[in-house]
Structure 1
């Protein structure tokens, strides 16, 4: 049914993460734990949305190797619709290998994501109905630029949300930014996309207004443990979260985007969306899994009460 679901187009992969027991020592073998879990920015956002009770369709690509089959199997278990994804025989599913430091922050990573090049314009054309019947569509920059451009140019009535993924991948959308309804770059990505150095609140306002002038309707600039700055041309604010212990920071951005999409899906105001997004990211970083198994709309609302007290 039209407008009854969110479409997500982006990455689905296996995450392999290393957690040292003590302070990370470079150029040496570090005793610790290694965790293998399902990941990919698009897939992570989609799983968080499912946990928030939103019907979600994920358009991605996996191989028929054990990793790809595990991603498809888990999607069925949690209720994530991957019927519109490509499953390629004899192709290796994307892998993201990361090393975290003793504080839970990622210090280095290697991504093997060649399979995403199979998300071609010809394939995306076959999914036009899935995209145009969604309430909103989230795109992550793992997919090829040509596919992103085609989606944005040929679906004029859809609100597109952008997850920039990384500084390197954000470059793909620099000249397409105005086609997105909502974006959530971090400070470094915002600097890259605008050409504006961000050193204070005034710079945040100038950068956000650059995006608005390009055509973006809602701008959220993520500032890590300093919260989020948002601007929609009418409402401007900087919300700072309470301090929490970081167990694993990897999934914070994915949870943040899922909460923004939830807010838009239910037509909430920008301030409530921002508070929900911060609450979701705080819940995400408090668990060793990239996606907190206890993520829910109830847990977000509870965490929002702590933000109100800041």
Structure 2
């Protein structure tokens, strides 16, 4: 490892295959469009934005020793990420994600993150073997955690001495996996980045505004939370602070990865010492530029 990374991105690093059409779609639609394959996964998406913002993230993940994994890590290294911290498996394939998007948003998606789930705590080895820390001298810095991790591993992280000094930032992989994050609710240094639906699942109710959702998340034990609601107002809630901002209005060209872009931009602004207002504004602007297609 050439130098200490600025942040750790722990979770899914895989290949995204995404079909996009300019037509509105419904069940059974068969429409023209474009199909692309690119590096993806929550941890990878966050890392890509961090690299664009001048930071060097390290990837703690599992990648197969198959050709797909070789190319994926080569691309990540070329982008400016630290990849020597990734666990290379001889018997697990590189994970993948498949999504279909139309003019009316995400139609359907399937995340095959079974290798990440099966690898479990092996992906945390660099935090205990001295490369990034040990139990006696744990990593002290920012960590982006991906909700694709199993609930058991998230629970282990919540109580592990390896994370005793970490600034933990948490993102659900999808609404379907949001409940896994209950394991970190109440953790004093965990910051949650969720959308309105995910907040509702974690609070076992439905919300009509990000402000109500953020307040409810705080009441359930979240030390700090940011709730987004698509093109509508987003809210940050923390001790003594409730901050709401409206994102820039843009035409939506894509949606997969928008939440990860928001989280990464907000985290980078936080690390630079931006005010809460400025950090939220910068994150919303970055997400808006991403969904509009103005940013790769």
Gaps of 5+ in 1: 294-310
CA distance in 2, matches of 1:145, 1:219: 19
Question: Which of residues 157, 170, 178 is equivalent to 2:165?
Answer: 157
Deviation at 1:102, TM superposition (A): 2.3
Instruction: Tell me the residue number matched to 1:299.
Output: none
Q: Report 1:1-310 matches (<5 A).
A: 5-24=6-25, 26-103=27-104, 105-128=105-128, 129=130, 130=132, 132-154=138-160, 155-179=163-187, 180-200=189-209, 203-204=212-213, 206-211=215-220, 214=221, 216-287=222-293, 292-293=295-296
Q: Which whole-Å CA distance do the structure 2 matches of 1:249 and 1:178 have between them?
A: 30
Cα deviation, 1:14-57, whole Å, max 9, x if unaligned, reads: 11111225333532432221111110010110111011001211
- 1:3 deviates by 7.9
- Aligned residue for 1:300? none
Q: Please report the RMSD computed on the Cα atoms of aligned residues, expressed in angstroms.
A: 2.3
Equivalent residues of 2:62, 2:123 under 8 A apart: no
Structure 1 residue 226: deviation in Å? 0.3
| Structure 2 unaligned residues grouped into runs of 5+ | none
For residues 122 and 175 of structure 1, the distance between their equivalents in structure 2, rounded to whole angstroms, comes to: 19
Distance (whole Å) between structure 2 residues aligned to residue 123 and residue 231 of structure 1 = 31
Question: Alpha-carbon deviations, 1:124-176, whole Å to 9, x = none?
Answer: 25523526334211100112222222222122221111001212211112142
- Could you list the runs of 4 or more consecutive aligned residues of structure 1 that deviate by over 3 angstroms after TM superposition? 1-4
TM-score by length of 1: 0.84
The aligned length equals 286
**What is the CA distance between 1:217 and its match in structure 2?**
3.2
CA distance in structure 1 between the partners assigned to 2:59 and 2:209 by the alignment: 37
Change (3 A) 1:201 1:138: closer
Encode CA deviations 1:218-273: one digit per residue, 9 max, x unaligned: 21111111031111122212211221011111121111110121122223222221
Greater fraction of residues in strand: 2
User: Which deviates more from structure 2 when the two are superposed, residues 218-227 or residues 6-15?
Assistant: 218-227
